[in-house]
């Protein structure tokens, strides 16, 4: 059915496919939500600081 070279190539293909699948699962479930959450928190801090600076500037 398979020569030894074809068998090694098939195993390499399956390995790469499996690694890619688990990498995508990891990125979708952990990395991307962490990245988005962190950027939203940073943006909220910036907005809060801008409002605080405006308030301080208007009182002085």
Structural contact between residues 31 and 22, judged by C-beta atoms closer than 8 angstroms: no
CA distance 57 to 49: 12
pLDDT of residue 1: 75
Q: Which pLDDT score, from 0 to 100, does residue 16 have? A: 98
Q: What is the pLDDT of residue 38?
A: 96
**Confidence at residue 2, expressed as pLDDT on a 0 to 100 scale:** 76
The Cα 35–Cα 43 span in angstroms is 12
Structure tokens at 9: 């190539």
Q: What pLDDT digit, counting tens, does each position of 2-55 carry?
A: 799 999 999 999 999 999 999 999 999 999 999 999 999 999 999 999 999 999
Dist. CA 23–CA 59, nearest whole Å = 52
pLDDT at residue 60 greater than cutoff 90: no
């Amino acid at each position: 059915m398979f020569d030894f070279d074809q068998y090694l190539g098939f195993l390499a293909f399956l390995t790469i496919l499996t690694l890619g699948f688990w990498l995508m699962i990891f990125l979708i479930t952990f990395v991307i939500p962490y990245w988005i959450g962190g950027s939203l928190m940073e943006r909220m801090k910036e907005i809060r600081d801008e409002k605080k600076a405006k308030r301080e500037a208007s009182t002085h």
